[in-house]
Amino acid sequence: MKSRTVASDGVRLAVYEQGDPAKPTVLLVHGYPDTHLMWQDVAARLVEDFHVVSYDTRGSGKTGKPSTMEGYRLEHLGHDLMAVADAVSPDRPVHVVAHDWGSIQAWEAVTEPANADRIASYTSISGPCLDHVAHWMRRPSLKSVRQLMHSWYIGFFHLPMVPTLVWRLWLGRNWGRLLTMVDGVPRRPGHPAPTITKDGINGMSLYKANFRPVTRNPRERRTTVPVQVIQPTRDRYVTAALTENLQKWAPKLWRRTVAASHWVPITHPDVIARMAAEFIQHVSGEPATRSLRRAEVGRHRPPFADKLVVVTGGGSGIGRATALAFAKQGAEVVVCDVNHDTASETAVLAGGRATAYQVNVADESAVAKFAADVAAEHGIPDVVVNNAGIGHAGTLMDATTEEWQRVLGVNLWGVIHGCKSFGELMIAGGEGGHIVNVASGAAYVPSKLLGVYSTSKAAVFMLSDCLRAELASAGIGVSTICPGIVNTNIAGTTTFSGASAAEQAQKQRDSTRIYRRRNFPPERVAAEIVRAVRQRRAIVPVTVESKAARVISRLAPSVLRGVAARF
């Protein structure tokens, strides 16, 4: 890392550079009460492809402190950013990535018409334009009241003496510990900065110098610069509502979310670096990634356009119907099945919107390889439907160990493998997602003759409940689908404990006849799966018998136990 100082409006800014200056310049602007060190993990991930520059803003780190409160006004902060840009990239426009108060001051530079040719793109994280906010607050709503409650600290910073004393006596010594406890920010070298007490006290002048003047007389601040807004979903201080009308001011707009807290550049540096790089590369002429395409504001698209859906057991029945339903809604679909020919038939029926793979979901290594292949060839899935399953009937006393292993291997372990392999990808991606696990009404209906099958599906039911709680903080939803009697080929392939080959064939014919007579098509289950994902529904019984059994299992479970014992 190289360092230098840049003079701007009476202050000498401490500037830090990494990477090849011949590559596109990315200018990182930190917020309050941070320093340029806040960006060190993001910078490390960008430096291979970009000339990465960061600087300590006014009153922080090694940058000088203005002599008056007036020196913290937005116009000076905007001049600082452009002074650094002119010093480190005089001949080419820079790409700005900013967080918190860094974003607020970057908006000042980005919305200045004279800078339109000097800023190639702007990625804003948890920091709105104060003028935009002032206009928005003039139309009171429940959202504005909620934001005021989140912004309580602004009023506190305007108090005389008390905030300074709090920083000197307690907050400066405990800032890192507080961030870890409240927002899950990891403790690491460089954060918080050694100058945190000084920076915290100086930085309060940012609020005092700007909030009242801007609120009283907001300006019309527009920009033609391409803008990407990244909104952490668990931000305790800056809500998404602050940028809900942003397209009025920034017509070239992309909006993305990360399942994270306010200090997302520290907690999720991989995600922020990837999103910044994708946006910069697209603005520079490269095709947009799937994630970036669906983030573009103003594009009209089908509900699942630019989304990737993975369906296991997609060669027939509910799996095939689900794959086709998502494809019809605009999704790119990846289908796997133990039978490659039937999976390929589904892909053809999807009209070129699907790709087929042959996978035995009971094989952990095969599923892990499948997930890796999908990520490499198609990207991180937005929706994963763990549908693959097999039927089995007969009493528990007649069931062999091999039959238990076979049923649990597909029906339970197949779901576990899918949840783990693809769930890890979704968590790392940082953009949420949805997992659908196909269980059965048999999960909550005891039966003398479906003990093995019901056990596997009941385990999937509880697995989904536990996984839903575990993945909630990552923004990943989990739906449990519980069909009843559905007209698929599962009846014709169900195995029976203790039956000869001839008896098995007869029982399969009898079961198939019953399922056909019931005639509930798999397409209706697929429609419920699509709706569950759109509405993020937790538990979805499908068919009348499954819904009725679900109600009885919750209100009068002894009734179901009695019926199971008698029949």
Q: What pLDDT, on the 0 to 100 scale, is given for residue 514?
A: 86
Do residues 407 and 390 touch, judged by C-beta distance below 8 A? yes
Strands (E), 361-424: 383-386, 392-393
Q: The sheet that has 94-99: what strands, in order across it?
A: 2-8, 11-18, 51-55, 25-29, 94-99, 119-125, 227-232, 253-258
Number of H helices, E strands in the chain: 23, 17
Q: Tell me whether strands 476-483 and 51-55 are parallel, antiparallel or unpaired.
A: unpaired
Residue 237 annotated to the active site: no
Do residues 103 and 126 touch, judged by C-beta distance below 8 A? yes
Q: What pLDDT, on the 0 to 100 scale, is given for residue 189?
A: 77
pTM: 0.92
Quick one: which of 19, 16, 48, 11 has its CA closest to 30? 16
The residue annotated as part of the active site, out of 55, 207, 357, 453, is 453
Q: How far apart are CA 505 and CA 509, in angstroms?
A: 6
Quick one: which of 294, 323, 325, 313 has its CA closest to 432? 294
What's 253-276 look like in SS3? EEEEEECCCCCHHHHCHHHHHHHH
Q: What is the mean pLDDT of each run of 10 residues along the chain (567 residues)?
A: 96 98 98 96 98 98 96 98 98 98 98 97 97 93 93 95 96 94 86 92 97 95 98 95 93 97 96 98 96 92 94 97 97 97 97 94 98 97 97 95 97 98 97 97 95 97 98 97 92 89 89 87 97 98 96 95 91
What's 121-168 look like in SS3? EEEEECCCCHHHHHHHHCCCCHHHHHHHHHCHHHHHHCCCCHHHHHHH
| Domains assigned to the chain | 2-295 (3.40.50.1820), 308-566 (3.40.50.720)
Do residues 494 and 394 touch, judged by C-beta distance below 8 A? no
CB burial string 157-182: b at 16+ within 10 A, e below: beeeeebeeebeeebbeebbeebeee
Q: What pLDDT, on the 0 to 100 scale, is given for residue 435?
A: 98
Quick one: which of 296, 308, 303 has its CA closest to 253? 296
Q: What pLDDT, on the 0 to 100 scale, is given for residue 510?
A: 87
Quick one: which of 550, 547, 485 has its CA closest to 522? 485
> Is it true that the peptide bond before 66 is cis, omega within 30 degrees of 0?
no
Q: What pLDDT, on the 0 to 100 scale, is given for residue 517?
A: 87
Q: Which backbone phi and psi does 282 adopt, to 5 degrees?
A: -65, -45
